[in-house]
Structure 1
Amino acid sequence: MASVTFDTHKFVRRLREAGFQENQAEALTEALRFALEDSELVTRKDLQIELAPIKSDLTVVKWMLGLLLGGVAALVLKSFF
Structure 2
Amino acid sequence: MTAITFDTLKFVRTLRDADFDEKQAEAISRAFKDAQDGAELATKVDLRDLAHRLTIRMGTMIAAAVVVITALDKLV
Length-normalised TM-score, structure 1: 0.68
Instruction: State the Cα RMSD in Å.
Output: 2.2
In the comparison of the two structures, how many residue pairs are matched?
76
User: Deviation at 1:52?
Assistant: 2.7
Unaligned runs of 5+ in 1: 77-81
SS of 1:46 mapped into structure 2 = helix
| 1:39 alignment counterpart | 39
> Identity of counterpart residues, as a percentage?
36
| 1:55 alignment counterpart | 55
Match status 1:4 vs 2:28: no
Structure with greater Cα Rg: 1
Unaligned runs of 5+ in 2: none
Q: Deviation digits for residues 33-73 of structure 1, max 9, x if unmatched?
A: 12211222223431331453343133122112112212322
Length-normalised TM-score, structure 2: 0.71
